[in-house]
Structure 1
Amino acid sequence: MAKGSIPQSVEALVEPVIQAQGLELVDVEYKREGPNWVLRIYIDKAGGVGVEDCKQVSHMVEDMIEVDDLVRTHYILEVSSPGLDRPLKKEKDFLRYLGKKVQITTFAPIGDRRNFKGILKNFEDGAVHLDAQGQAFAIPLSNIASARLEIEFKL
């Protein structure tokens, strides 16, 4: 199996089991970190996830991945929360965080820029609508290389 397809294969395999536990599968990463390959699964739920949630999911999905022989190299499995600056990948992620500050990097420039920070206004017709310092942008989801919530500190 090609390394590029491992995250998608793992996501398809484990998402129903994670959802059955009342959790949301946020993202799956498979990448080399130093000498090791790391398979990282991000989960979430209303009110946040705890260590026990991560431990439970880790035990469940580890066996599933091994039985289906999805990853043929030695790897380290990590299950964690997406953090405060969680990635936004799917339409439902963008809709959930309307009105929040986000950071978006695009594959191809829009105008003369690839990096955007602003308020998430809408997701419509396959595009993220963003207000960046009073300027409106419609960024096609297919052009988004990465999108994350911006951490806001309130004093």
Structure 2
Amino acid sequence: MALQEIVEQTVTGLGYDLVEVERSAGGLLRITIDLPWSAQAVPGAPDAFVTVEDCEKVTRQLQFALEVDGADYKRLEISSPGIDRPLRHEQDFLRFEGETVDITLKQPLGAAAGGQVSANRKKFRGELEKTESGWQIVWRDPIETKPGQKPGKKKLAEQAVHALGFTLDELKEARLAPLVDFKGRKPRDAAAPGEQVGKIS
């Protein structure tokens, strides 16, 4: 049985989601797990997090399963997802809709957004949104201001907004953007009236 299959069967059998399987130098096998998520979860309810006890439970069971199968590894590490959590399945995208994500395309889409996006560009960061045909990320052009100065309402209203549509098959990688706000979570800004939208298809 393949290593990925052993790990996935063991992790899901214990009631967790398998996020990632990584092999690192020195024989380290790193497994990332998460608690199951449901689209029917109560909106606004606090997220539950993987605990040390969860990691120990999965470690014990995986050590046994890997030993039985004769898997080749030296050290086993079980952890919860970090702030740059990978998004791999449709459910991951549904779970984190509205969050800022980093995506890498398998192939560049060509010149777009009035020439502001390079024809060779594959990496983008923006807010994740569901569309009728798949998914898109939306981002705003940066506004130049003096240090310590906030942009005025007029500049915000004139700020160009771009949208990049994609399907999961077109992605090489997608992750939550590792953004840390030490002042606490801020409400997302609503689109300003009169803003310009550039669609990248």
> Which secondary structure state, in structure 1, belongs to the residue aligned with residue 83 of structure 2?
coil
Identity between Structure 1 and Structure 2 (%): 37
Shift in CA distance, 26/124, structure 1 to aligned 2, threshold 3 Å = farther
- Most deviating of 76-85 and 11-20: 11-20
Q: Deviations over 1:48-73 (max 9, x none)?
A: 1111111110110111112122x33x
Quote the offset at 1:132 in angstroms: 2.6
* 8 Å Cα contact 1:95-1:123 kept in structure 2: no
Aligned residue in 1 for 2:53 = 52
1:29 aligns with 2:57: no
Which structure has the larger Rg over C-alpha atoms? Answer: 2
Structure 1, unaligned runs of 5 or more? 2-8
- 1:5-154 correspondence to structure 2 within 5 Å: 9-31=2-24, 33=25, 36-45=26-35, 46-69=47-70, 71-72=71-72, 74-111=73-110, 112=119, 113-122=121-130, 127-133=134-140, 134-150=161-177, 151-153=179-181
Name whichever structure is richer in strand by fraction.
1
Q: TM-score, normalised by structure 2?
A: 0.63
Shift in CA distance, 123/10, structure 1 to aligned 2, threshold 3 Å = farther
CA distance in structure 1 between the aligned counterparts of 2:182 and 2:129, rounded to whole angstroms: 21
Structure 2, unaligned runs of 5 or more? 36-46, 111-118, 141-160, 184-201
Aligned residue in 1 for 2:147 = none
CA distance in structure 1 between the aligned counterparts of 2:77 and 2:51, rounded to whole angstroms: 14
Runs of 4+ aligned structure 1 residues displaced above 6 Å come to none
Name whichever structure is richer in helix by fraction.
1
